[in-house]
Amino acid sequence: MELNTIERDDIGAAAEDLVVLPAATRKVFVKTYGCQMNVYDSQRMTDALAIDGYAATDAIGEADLVLLNTCHIREKAAEKVYSELGRIRELKAERAKAGREMLVGVAGCVAQAEGAEIIRRSPVVDLVIGPQTYHRLPGVLAKARSGEKIVETDYAVEDKFEHLPQPKRAELIRRGVTAFLTVQEGCDKFCTFCVVPYTRGSEVSRPVAQIVAEAERLADAGVREVTLLGQNVNAWHGRGEDSEEWGLGRLLFRLAEIPGLARLRYTTSHPRDMDDELIAAHRDLPALMPYLHLPVQSGSDRILKAMNRRHMAKDYLTLIDRVRAARNDIALSGDFIVGFPGETEADFEATMQLVEDVNYASAFSFKYSPRPGTPGAEMNDQVPEAVKDERLQRLQALLLKQQQHFGASLVGRTIDTLVEKPGRQAGQKVGRSPWLQPVIVDEKAGEIGDIIQVRITKAGYNSLFAELA
């Protein structure tokens, strides 16, 4: 076993006191912020690091490498990273006193957006790595260990997915019976509030063969439910096995053929990319769960135009009617922004009206947060914080009422549930409803991975309680 002496001394301890551990015993702590794509990316980074001799740990104090996988979508999300780095600075100093190294890396969308600025603001950071270059992580770490500060935020010319190692089957089994699978990244839509086109780049679809192979590996490891991910997932397209151009609908049909995969989902969609084939999949594909997250952001045509959403409120409502005609038990979810620049009380009322018209099963709503480099941040008529607060409260009260109403409407019904994991309380297991709600059942109701029929006895805020039917 070879022990290398670290050559760097940026945290006070004498350089020769610091010892780099032999590869196989290094530990990495990954903290994930933001969306499901970051959850998926964190797993893939962990897989890449496993090859490099890093075992994952939940205890930050024992980590030789701390990776923050960050989110830049709203200011609050981005600022969290810096407060976390403040805490990490102390931990790193403590470890240095004990003669142990702790490399600190910032990955994800803040890394992409702010690059070297992160190291200027937080010198505790050793490496900054953007989402398009995770496959280069082992090489980047080798350099960082030799004392260089690294910023790796280029858009890689090579396909990162081709170069990222696959996790071991045992690791996939450990991760459980539901899984994410990124099929598309980036966005070409340029909504005026959104940083995604800048942090994740332009739209890229993964090839069919890669996606099918990954889904087969997941199914082989016991995964029953796969959620396809993309910033604009329904813009996914690719050349199919029949040499035809496929859209997401066609891909879903193909994935449903994989033995063991019982349930499919996809997120997040743009209303403009809901094509006929995808809507037909909701009608004809039982494996496609009756749940659709379709953000609209606002119900005001004036604001939709300013946001560059490129559709009107009535287009969205017509689309919802078509989706419901295809699958009448579909539950709808959405994203909303209140207080976009220029939003008047009448504009906000139009959003409330749209919510009334659609009747959502769940939804996410946010106060507009001006993001550096986006057109929205430069617009006049920024809405005062107090007005945003008040509108958000009103909107969330309405959405919560709809969500509770949806849960209550399921009481007494018999539904399919995928048994997912042990419950928090002894004697319970937690399943997942077709509409993405946690379902609490008796632990004897089924084994993890089973899809069981349960009768809903009670609805909580978000979760459901059920007994075996």
Where along the sequence are the contacts to ligand SF4 (CB under 6 A)? 187, 189-191, 194, 196-197, 231-232, 270
Q: Which residue is nearest to ligand 5AD (CB)?
A: 335
360 binds, among ligand SF4, ligand 5AD, none (CB under 5 to 8 A by kind): none
C-beta separation of 266 from 234 below 8 A: yes
Cα Rg, the chain, nearest whole Å: 23
Q: What is the 3-state secondary structure (H, E, C) of the chain?
A: CCCEECCCCCCCCCHHHCEECCHHHEEEEEEECCCHHHHHHHHHHHHHHHHCCEEECCCHHHCCEEEEEECCCCHHHHHHHHHHHHHHHHHHHHHHHCCECCEEEEEHHHHHHHCCHHHHHCCCCCEEECHHHHHHHHHHHHHHHCCCCEEECCCCCCCHHHHCCCCCHHHHHHHCCEEEEECEECCCCCCCCCCHHHHCCCCEECCHHHHHHHHHHHHHCCCCEEEEECCCHHHCEEECCCCCEEEHHHHHHHHHCCCCCCEEEEECCCHHHCCHHHHHHHHHCCCECCEEECCCECCCHHHHHHCCCCCCHHHHHHHHHHHHHHCCCCEEEEEEEECCCCCCHHHHHHHHHHHHHHCCCEEEEEECCCCCCCHHHHCCCCCCHHHHHHHHHHHHHHHHHHHHHHHHHCCCCEEEEEEEEECCCCCEEEEECCCCCEEEEEHHHCCCCCEEEEEEEEECCCCEEEEEC
Find the shortest distance in angstroms from Cβ 175 to ligand SF4. 26
Residue 70 to residue 122: CA distance in whole angstroms: 15
Find the shortest distance in angstroms from Cβ 73 to ligand SF4. 8
Find the shortest distance in angstroms from Cβ 235 to ligand SF4. 9
Find the shortest distance in angstroms from Cβ 199 to ligand SF4. 10
189 binds, among ligand SF4, ligand 5AD, none (CB under 5 to 8 A by kind): ligand SF4
- Measured from the CB atom, the residue of 54 and 360 that comes closer to ligand SF4 is 360
Residues that bind ligand 5AD (CB under 6 A): 73-74, 193-194, 295, 297, 335, 337, 366, 368-369, 371
Find the shortest distance in angstroms from Cβ 373 to ligand 5AD. 11
- Measured from the CB atom, the residue of 13 and 187 that comes closer to ligand SF4 is 187
- Measured from the CB atom, the residue of 190 and 422 that comes closer to ligand SF4 is 190
224 binds, among ligand 5AD, ligand SF4, none (CB under 5 to 8 A by kind): none
- Measured from the CB atom, the residue of 73 and 113 that comes closer to ligand 5AD is 73
- Measured from the CB atom, the residue of 196 and 459 that comes closer to ligand SF4 is 196
Angle between helices 313-326 and 276-284 (to 10 degrees): 30
Residue 299 to residue 87: CA distance in whole angstroms: 41
74 binds, among ligand 5AD, ligand SF4, none (CB under 5 to 8 A by kind): ligand 5AD
Find the shortest distance in angstroms from Cβ 231 to ligand 5AD. 9
270 binds, among ligand SF4, ligand 5AD, none (CB under 5 to 8 A by kind): ligand SF4
- Measured from the CB atom, the residue of 103 and 187 that comes closer to ligand SF4 is 187
369 binds, among ligand SF4, ligand 5AD, none (CB under 5 to 8 A by kind): ligand 5AD
366 binds, among ligand 5AD, ligand SF4, none (CB under 5 to 8 A by kind): ligand 5AD
Find the shortest distance in angstroms from Cβ 191 to ligand SF4. 3
- Measured from the CB atom, the residue of 100 and 265 that comes closer to ligand 5AD is 265
Find the shortest distance in angstroms from Cβ 202 to ligand 5AD. 17
Find the shortest distance in angstroms from Cβ 396 to ligand 5AD. 13
292 binds, among ligand SF4, ligand 5AD, none (CB under 5 to 8 A by kind): none
- Measured from the CB atom, the residue of 46 and 396 that comes closer to ligand 5AD is 396
C-beta separation of 439 from 452 below 8 A: no
- Measured from the CB atom, the residue of 369 and 433 that comes closer to ligand 5AD is 369
- Measured from the CB atom, the residue of 249 and 271 that comes closer to ligand SF4 is 271
458 binds, among ligand SF4, ligand 5AD, none (CB under 5 to 8 A by kind): none
Residue 88 makes CB contacts below 8 A (sequence gap 6+) with 60, 66, 102, 104, 124
232 binds, among ligand SF4, ligand 5AD, none (CB under 5 to 8 A by kind): ligand SF4
